[in-house]
Amino acid sequence: MSRLLFVASEAFPLIKTGGLADIAGTLPEVLRQQGMDVRLLLPAYRHILDTIDSPATVAELDIAGTPLRLLATQLPGTQVETWLLDHPWFSQRPGNPYHDAGGQSWPDNADRFMLLSRLAAAISTGDAGLAWRPDVLHCNDWHTGPAVALTHLSEQRPLTVFTIHSLAHMGLFDRATFERLHLPGHFWHDSALEFYNQFSFIKGGLVYADYVTTVSPNYAHEICEAPGGMGLEGLLQSRRERLVGILNGIDHRVWNPASDPCLEHHYDAARLADKALNKAALQRSLGLAVADDRPLLGIVGRLVEQKGLELVLPMLGEMLAQPAQLVVLGTGERRYEEYLQHVAGAHPDAMSVILAYDETMAHRIEAAADIFLMPSLFEPCGLNQLYSLRYGTLPVVRAVGGLADTVVDATPQALAEGTATGFVFGPPHSGAFMEALQRAIALWRDRDSWRRVQATAMAQDFSWQRSAARYMELYSSAH
């Protein structure tokens, strides 16, 4: 049986700030079910230690002069043995894993995630002295990039895979940080970890991994060119033969409208009338007019520029005048939060804004809304549009990254062929977004056509089984 060490900075349900957690919380279990001997490695954040039963101690280790404990627990809802790096840098830091309450990165993030990387490399090369050693080290995003580079300092190197969930976060630090961390001098080179005179964590993965993967085929293509590559396009182009796009799946145990414990009213493609009960329940609970003659539009996600808020905000008045209702759930940049609240305050029966991170509410909005809005400027894969498809909440998306790979535009031809699943537009402009939304609303008024598209959307297979099989193929290839 192949042994896999899967390393991430977050995994649902132990700790989650975004899509990475959904993947790290699901893929290891599916790989385990497909026959791998898996360990998931995460930092033991305060929040995790507060929510799990007393974990076992696997080992007390000294990693590059830093004493730490390796704890073991099980990822809830799975049989994945999860190892936790216990050190005060994580365990004595409440709140968000990456930044303080004001959104400022923790000043010692380089030290914290270098420790995670060093531990992952030491376990993988046998330097940690554990009885268990992986055949494959699978790292995710910048926090774990150096782990891949560090395995190259050893003769005993496992196969390494590095997954880009987003290139937007590169883990950039200054040269003084590089020197303070006592990394080998040859890593300070533009063919290694240096990036325009800065120290880049993510390059550890991009340069040194046997395979670099990213979370959709289209995003794999986009990042090999400017502007998608964000300055790394040359490097990624040079690794094109080892760069693979594997679409994320969704966890059908967590996201299934027929059994979702967050919903008052369950439904499936054959019982779509019951979806409307969720709409009425949400309208009531949020104080919106309980009306079924207006489409309910939903937005769930981080309220940041990437998610296309610049396209949506100028159109709020026009959107509500369709007439339509809008519910927004998210947290993010203050200026977006304040503007959304301001508009909602002026239209209390038509618009509701919930500035919170609320898993249950995210499920309720997916079930209640008619149309989901995701006009992202870039989107490596995107999960919310996949949840929306599964919940029969037809998405309006921009043709970028994984959104373009997963939503089929309701053109007359796609409608006639029965392949349409949503509404896709190209230019990053409010006008193009609004035009797609108006097409969606027009189709929503044609109830029979809408139901047909809903049924097609709900029948799409974005299960992890398919994606996991692709990862297994990579794992079984040679270095």
Q: Which positions touch ligand ADP (CB under 6 A)?
A: 18-19, 22, 300-302, 329-331, 357-359, 362, 381-384
Task: Rank residues 86 and 222 by Cβ distance to ligand ADP and give the closer one.
Answer: 222
Pairwise CA distance, residues 46 & 96, whole Å: 10
Task: Rank residues 117 and 166 by Cβ distance to ligand ADP and give the closer one.
Answer: 166
CB 379 within 8 Å of CB 18: no
Task: Rank residues 268 and 358 by Cβ distance to ligand ADP and give the closer one.
Answer: 358
Q: How far is the CB of 168 from ligand ADP (least distance, A)?
A: 9
Q: How far is the CB of 466 from ligand ADP (least distance, A)?
A: 18
Q: How far is the CB of 372 from ligand ADP (least distance, A)?
A: 11
Burial grade of 59 (CB within 10 A; 0-12, 13-18, 19 or more): middle
Task: Rank residues 122 and 303 by Cβ distance to ligand ADP and give the closer one.
Answer: 303
Q: How far is the CB of 337 from ligand ADP (least distance, A)?
A: 11
Residue of minimal Cβ distance to ligand ADP: 19
Q: How far is the CB of 323 from ligand ADP (least distance, A)?
A: 26
457, 463, 438: which is closest to 272 by C-alpha? 457
Q: How far is the CB of 293 from ligand ADP (least distance, A)?
A: 28
At 15, list the tokens: 């700790």
CB 55 within 8 Å of CB 43: no
The answer for 308, left when phi > 0, alpha when psi is -120 to 50, beta otherwise, is left
Task: Rank residues 322 and 460 by Cβ distance to ligand ADP and give the closer one.
Answer: 460
Task: Rank residues 22 and 81 by Cβ distance to ligand ADP and give the closer one.
Answer: 22
Task: Rank residues 204 and 330 by Cβ distance to ligand ADP and give the closer one.
Answer: 330
CB 265 within 8 Å of CB 285: no
Task: Rank residues 7 and 71 by Cβ distance to ligand ADP and give the closer one.
Answer: 7
Q: Look at the block and give the residue holding tokens 């006009």.
A: 375
Q: How far is the CB of 382 from ligand ADP (least distance, A)?
A: 5
- Using DSSP, state whether 25 is helix, strand or coil: coil
Q: 88: which residues sit within 8 A by CB, 6+ positions away?
A: none
Peptide bond just before 227 cis, omega within 30 deg: yes
Pairwise CA distance, residues 233 & 226, whole Å: 6
Pairwise CA distance, residues 448 & 331, whole Å: 36
105: β partners: 99
Give, rounded to a whole angstrom, the gap between the first and last alpha carbons of the chain.
18
Pairwise CA distance, residues 270 & 273, whole Å: 9
Pairwise CA distance, residues 185 & 260, whole Å: 52
Q: How far is the CB of 19 from ligand ADP (least distance, A)?
A: 3
Burial grade of 62 (CB within 10 A; 0-12, 13-18, 19 or more): exposed
Task: Rank residues 141 and 409 by Cβ distance to ligand ADP and give the closer one.
Answer: 141
